[in-house]
Structure 1
Amino acid sequence: MRAPLWEFTGVIEAPPDRVAALMAVRPGPVGPDNLWLMSDSLPGGVVSGGPGRFRVSLPSLPSRAMTIEADDGFVAAQGGWWYRGEYRLEPHPEGSRLVHRVFNVARRGRWAVPMANRFFIGFEARGRTGMSGLLARVGERLGCGTRLE
Structure 2
Amino acid sequence: MSQQGWTATGVIEAPLDEVTAVFLKVTEGPVNKDNAPLLNVVPGAGRLLGSAVLRGGPTEFTIRYGPRPGGTVEVEVERGYFAFQGGYKFRAEYRFTAHPKGTLLIYRAINVALGNHQDRAAVRFQFWLGGALKVGLRGSLRRIGKALGCRTYAGS
Q: TM-score normalised by the shorter chain: which range applies? A: 0.7 to 0.9
CA contact (8 A) 1:57 1:65 kept: yes
Match of 1:91 among 93, 98, 103: 98
Determine the C-alpha separation between the residues in 1 that align with 2:154 and 2:107.
11
Normalized against structure 2, the TM-score is what?
0.83
Counterpart check, 1:128 vs 2:144: no
Tell me, yes or no, if the aligned pair for 1:104 and 1:110 is still in contact at 8 Å.
no
Partner in structure 1 of residue 68 of structure 2: 63
Q: Does 1:7 align with 2:7?
A: yes
What amino acid maps onto 2:55 in structure 1? S
Instruction: Mark the CA change 1:4 to 1:65 in structure 2 (over 3 Å): closer, same or farther.
Output: same
Question: CA, structure 1 residues 53+37, in 2 after alignment: closer, same or farther (shift >3 Å)?
Answer: same
Over 3 Å counting, the alpha-carbon distance change for 1:126 and 1:31 in structure 2 is same
Identity of aligned residues (%): 38
Structure 1 residues 75-86: aligned runs within 5 Å: 75-86=82-93
Conservation of the 8 A alpha-carbon contact between 2:5 and 2:127: no
Deviation, structure 1 residue 23: 2.2
- Give ranges in structure 1 of 5+ residues lacking alignment: none
Residues 8-37 of structure 1: per-residue CA shift (max 9 Å, x gap)? 110000011111121211101111211111
Give the TM-score normalised by structure 1: 0.87
CA distance in 2, matches of 1:96, 1:43: 29
2:88 and 2:98 map into 1 onto residues whose CA distance is 32
Give me the whole-angstrom Cα distance separating, in 1, the residues matched to 2:29 and 2:87: 22
Distance, in Å, in 2 between the alignment partners of 1:74 and 1:128 is: 19
| Structure 1 position 44 matched with structure 2 position 51 | yes
Secondary structure of 1:137's partner?
helix
Given residue 138 of structure 2, which amino acid in structure 1 is its aligned partner? S
What SS does the corresponding residue of 2:23 show, helix, strand or coil? Answer: helix
Measure, in 1, the Cα distance between the counterparts of 2:134 and 2:7: 9
Q: Distance in 1 between matches of 2:115 and 2:69?
A: 19
Counterpart position of 2:143: 137
Corresponding position of 2:60: 53
List alignment gaps of at least 5 residues for structure 2. Answer: none
- Distance (Å, rounded) in 1 between the aligned partners of 2:137 and 2:51: 21
Contact 1:4–1:101 (Cα < 8 Å) also in 2: no
